[in-house]
Amino acid sequence: MKSYPSLEGVQKAALCLSNVSKRTPLELNKRLSDTTGASVFIKREDLQQVRSFKIRGAYNKISSLSSEEYSKGIICASAGNHAQGFAFSCNELQIQGDVYMPATTPQQKVTQVRMFGGAFIQVILIGDTYDECQTVALRAAKKEEKTFIHAFDDVKVIEGQATMALEILEQTSKPFDYVLVPVGGGGLISGMITVLKALSPSTKIIGVEPEGAPSMSQSLAQNKRISLKTMDRFVDGAAIRQVGVIPFEICKQHLDEIITVAEGKICQTILDLYNKEGIVAEPAGALAIAGLESINADLQNKHVALMLCGGNNDILRMPEISERALIYANLKHYFLIDFPQRAGALKEFVNQVLGPNDDITHFEFSKKSFRNNGKALIGIQLVNATDLKHLVERMEIHNFKFEYLNEKQSLFQYLI
């Protein structure tokens, strides 16, 4: 018979973690509170030692192992944050561990794993996705008779993550009306449900998934665990092809609502947090905050908690994050424009087609011999989204033939 996380197990996990994980702050966010009319609090798990909540579950599970399991060693598969919690725990408990990570994992996370684990871990980069990586790791664990520490489909791991729920209840003076939780494999939200349904049953729990990787949403809709055939891997910490068995069963019975958020909206949220609050959030960490505007409810005078679950964002990703945010806001547009191959054609385009506030941010053109026209790839940034209509009208009036690339995903993917 399959076991499930319990409130008692979460309370034991809290004792186990009392001198390991930080009791992270629950901060009132004035900007989001003013925007919604609610009292909006952010749980700052980006301030953990490993800059994510994953230390909670990894340490709780690893510390529960027997001496025989310790002697054989342990293995995990992770897109980054679970690996860091795993590595930290291996170093703290002085147990040898193998960390399998997708080859596509941002270098910043790989470097952090090695730093936290020190001499007690080795990193193996393999596969393009978490799911491919996990398949190899599970095979290795079986062959080498090592214990596999699952990132989200394990009772002890879930109970460790759920200590976040105990903390937010202790840190507030009244019950929350809504708690928004990021969803990847489902470990965190199933733990939050376990605690909140027992201690704060009036609280509505809302899961937030990236639009490009809605594995829990689709599984709940079909009433069975499905495996996504395709997915956008941008939100790497939550891009999971198939949710866990335990999380799915808990969410199927008790999750109040689940919503999806566009990757571009997540990018804008990351930029807002950095520019307005000085908070560094990774894409999966910003998920719940990005979902706040999508709640189908009047939040006026409500008490709301958002789980900011990770701050492991590689600074080298910021140009792509900025680009995706601009495209989501309809302020960045790409065109393939047919230019007459004669002197002055580009000057006419700049003078007659571009508006006073339009900015060319990308331009590629190579003159072709023995042709009347040549294709130019142009990226244009606008000040107002409504300016696009006028830009297109001017191209048509002045006979510049074009293809709009933002809607052609097969071509557009090469530009960002």
Residue 113 in domain: yes
pLDDT over 90 at 63, yes or no: yes
Residue 345 belongs to domain with CATH number: 3.30.70.260
Let me know whether 213 and 312 are in one domain.
yes
Q: Does residue 132 carry a pLDDT above 80?
A: yes
Residue 340 lies in a domain: yes
Q: Are residues 251 and 197 in the same domain?
A: yes
Q: Are residues 316 and 225 in the same domain?
A: yes
Is 250 part of any domain?
A: yes
Examine residue 1 and state whether it is found in any structural domain, yes or no.
Answer: no
Instruction: Let me know whether 113 and 173 are in one domain.
Output: no
Q: Which of 270, 303, 323 is the last residue of a domain?
A: 323
Tracing tokens 């990193």 back to the chain, one arrives at 123
- pLDDT score recorded for residue 108: 78
pLDDT, tens digit, for every residue of 167-213? Answer: 999 999 999 999 999 999 999 999 999 999 999 999 999 999 999 99
Give the pLDDT confidence score for residue 363 in this predicted structure: 92
pLDDT at 1: 62
| Same domain assignment for residues 101 and 89 | yes
The whole-angstrom separation of Cα 254 and Cα 356 is 54
Structure confidence at residue 365 as a pLDDT band (50, 70, 90)? confident
Q: How many domains is the chain built from?
A: 3
Query: Domain check: are 312 and 227 in the same one?
Result: yes
| Among candidate residues 323, 347, 362, the one where a domain is terminated | 323
Mean pLDDT of 33-52: 96
> In this structure, are 35 and 63 located in the same domain?
no
CATH of the domain at 67: 3.40.50.1100
DSSP state of 47: G
Task: Considering only residues 373 and 333, tell me which one the structure prediction assigns the higher pLDDT.
Answer: 333
Quick one: 66 and 213 in the same domain?
no
Residue 74 is given by DSSP the state E
Q: Which of 153, 169, 191 is the last residue of a domain?
A: 153
The label of the residue with tokens 């696009």 reads 388
How do 121-125 and 257-261 pair as beta strands? unpaired
Per-residue pLDDT tens for 247-281?
999 999 999 999 999 999 999 999 999 999 999 99
For residue 2, being part of any structural domain is answered with no
Tokens of residue 285, six digits = 């960490």
Q: For residue range 151-167, list pLDDT tens digits in order.
A: 999 999 999 999 999 99
Residue 266 and residue 210 in one domain = yes
SS3 assignment, position 78: coil
- 260 is a domain residue: yes
Spatial distance between the Cα atoms of 207 and 216, rounded to a whole number of angstroms: 9
- 226: Cβ–Cβ under 8 A, 6 or more apart, which residues? 215, 218, 219, 242
On whether both 88 and 138 belong to a single domain, the answer is yes
Residues 214 and 268 in one domain: yes
User: What secondary structure letter does DSSP report for 13?
Assistant: H
Q: Which domain range does residue 352 map to?
A: 331-412
Strands 332-340, 373-381: pairing kind: antiparallel
- Same domain for 89 and 30, yes or no, is no
Query: Which backbone phi and psi does 98 adopt, to 5 degrees?
Result: -110, 130
